[in-house]
A and B are shown apart, each in its own frame.
Chain A
Amino acid sequence: DGGITQSPKYLFRKEGQNVTLSCEQNLNHDAMYWYRQDPGQGLRLIYYSQIVNDFQKGDIAEGYSVSREKKESFPLTVTSAQKNPTAFYLCASSILAGNTIYFGEGSWLTVV
């Protein structure tokens, strides 16, 4: 099936540790995105990438890092510099930047 796969679905980490969330898409989409959703709140854009080897900061990039070495992959690293990392993280993609955005199933990160 074509789609966006995020892993792991649930992740627990100790405070101070970096953690990397995986996002893979087989839709041949050029653009990929990472959002954060906190309980009862909307989406906030962390990073986006319009094309391979290029990415831009979103509204809340501090404490996060990304890479886009392959078209189908856009991993997100939550670093120890992120002050409130516990959240629901959503990866998304679109054919081109600005087209309809499709989401993965999300990853729950809990930092204790």
Chain B
Amino acid sequence: DAKTTQPPSMDCAEGRAANLPCNHSTISGNEYVYWYRQIHSQGPQYIIHGLKNNETNEMASLIITEDRKSSTLILPHATLRDTAVYYCIVRVGSNDYKLSFGAGTTVTVRA
């Protein structure tokens, strides 16, 4: 799996958009970018994933650069409940169960 690099922490104001960057410069052509988040003492929550096109769902948007070496997760209107550790991972999918979570980005949403 390609490694990912994320900033260790970031703050965001409630109601504003939160933009979380992730670098994955060694990503392979068949690897997807996945985002999960984890609130303390809870299981990770799947947010979104993509291969090369931008993706949007009810939780967030995922913007992947054309060269696929980096991506940005966008939480459009952050709430206090979005405070969590956010993990960006890359995985092939088939036969890839190990989900190599790094340190992630600790996002704190402030009122």
* Interface mask (A54-84 → B, CB under 8 Å = 1, otherwise 0): 0000110000000000000000000000000
B interface residues, Cβ below 8 angstroms from A: 34, 41-46, 49, 92-102
Shortest CB-to-CB span from B4 to chain A, Å, is 11
Residue total for A at the interface (Cβ-Cβ under 8 A)? 24
A interface residues, Cβ below 8 angstroms from B: 4, 6, 33, 35, 42-43, 45, 48, 58-59, 88, 90, 92, 97-106, 108
CB of A43 within 8 A of CB of B41, answer: no
A42-B100, A43-B99 known; A103 and B45 CB under 8 Å?
yes
Interchain CB contact (< 8 A) of A102 among B41, B46, B92, B102? B46
CB of A59 within 8 A of CB of B42, answer: no
How far, in whole Å, are A104 and B44 apart by their CA atoms in the complex? 8
